[in-house]
Chains A and B, each alone.
Chain A
Amino acid sequence: MKKLLKKSGIVGSVAVCLGLLLMQSALADIAVVASADSSAGSLSAKDVKKIFLGKKNTMVPVDQKEGSAIRNDFYSKVANKDQAKMKAYWSKMLFSGKATPPDNVEGDDAVKAWLAKNKNGIGYIDSGSVDGSVKVLFTAK
Chain B
Amino acid sequence: MKACYSRLAAALAGVYLSINPLQSQASDWAERISIAGFGSAMYHRTDEAVPFNGPPGVGHDNQGSFSDTKMGLNINADINERFSFASQLFGSKEDNEYAIHVDWAFGALKLTDGLTLRTGKMKFPVGLVNEYVDVGYALPWLSAPVSFYSSAGAAENGPSVTREGYTGASLLWQLDLDDWALDFDLFGGEISLEDANVRKLSGLTVTANMDDELIIKLSTYQGTMHQVILEGADSGGTAWEQAKAMMQTGMEGTKHEVTTFGVKYDVNNILFMYEWADVTMGDLTAMDTTSWYTTLGYQMGKFLPTLTFENLTQGDGNGAFDDDQDIITLALRWDYMSNMSIKFEASQIKLNQGNGLFGYDANPSSDTTMMYGTGIDFVF
Decide whether A and B assemble into one complex.
Answer: yes
Q: Report the minimum CB–CB distance from B85 to chain A (whole Å).
A: 9
Q: B74: which A residues are within 8 A, CB to CB?
A: 94-95, 97
A56, A58, A66, A92: the one within 8 Å of B132 (CB)? A92
Cross-interface CB contact of B138 among A56, A91, A100, cutoff 8 Å:
A91
Interface size class of A (residues with CB under 8 A): 20 to 34
Residue of B nearest to A66 (CB): B338
Is B135 part of the contact surface with A, judged by Cβ < 8 Å? yes
Across the interface, name the chain A residue whose C-beta is closest to B86.
Answer: A97
Closest chain A residue to B212, Cβ basis: A89
B76 CB, nearest partner CB in chain A, Å: 5
Decide: A91 and B176 in contact? CB cutoff 8 A: no
Q: Decide: B132 and A95 in contact? CB cutoff 8 A.
A: yes
B97 is an interface residue with CB less than 8 A from chain A? no
Number of interface residues of B (CB under 8 A): 37
The reply to whether B137 and A97 form a contact with Cβ atoms under 8 Å apart is no
Q: Is the CB of B72 within 8 A of A95?
A: yes
A83 close to chain B: CB less than 8 A? yes
| In the complex, chain A residues whose CB is within 8 Å of the CB of B138 | 88, 91-92, 95
Residues of B within 8 A of A103 (CB): 31
- With A94-B74, A94-B76, A97-B74: A87-B31 Cβ-Cβ less than 8 Å: no
A84 beta carbon closer than 8 Å to chain B: yes
**Prevailing SS type, chain B contact patch:** strand
- A57 nearest in chain B by CB position: B113
Measured CB to CB, the nearest residue on chain B to A83 is B338
Contacting pair B302 A96 (CB below 8 A): no
What's the least CB distance linking A86 to chain B, in Å? 9
Q: How far is the CA of A80 from the CA of B310 in the complex (A)?
A: 30
| CB-based contact B31/A56 at 8 Å | no
Closest to B335 in A: A84
List chain A positions with a Cβ less than 8 A from chain B.
46, 49-50, 53, 55-58, 66-67, 79-81, 83-84, 87-89, 91-92, 94-98, 100, 103
Do residues A87 and B176 form an inter-chain contact, with CB atoms below 8 A? no
What residues of B have a CB within 8 angstroms of the CB of A100 in the complex?
Answer: 34, 76, 78
The verdict on A50 contacting B176 (CB below 8 Å), with A91-B38, A91-B132, A100-B34 known, is yes
| B128 CB → nearest A CB, Å | 10
CB distance from A52 to the nearest CB of B (A): 13
Question: B123 contacts the other chain (Cβ, under 8 Å)?
Answer: yes
A interface footprint on B169-180 (CB within 8 Å = 1, 0 otherwise): 000001010110
Contacts of A80 in B (CB 8 A): 211
Question: 15 A-B contacts, Cβ less than 8 Å apart?
Answer: A53-B212, A55-B181, A56-B176, A57-B81, A83-B338, A87-B339, A89-B212, A91-B135, A95-B38, A95-B132, A95-B138, A96-B123, A97-B86, A97-B88, A97-B123
Contact A88 B137 (CB under 8 A): yes
- The A-contacting residues of B in range 79-102, CB under 8 angstroms, are 81, 86-88
B106 within 8 A of A: yes
Does B5 have its Cβ within 8 Å of any Cβ on chain A? no
Question: Are B178 and A67 within 8 A (Cβ)?
Answer: no
List A contacts of B179 (CB < 8 A).
46
B64 to A: closest C-beta gap in Å: 28
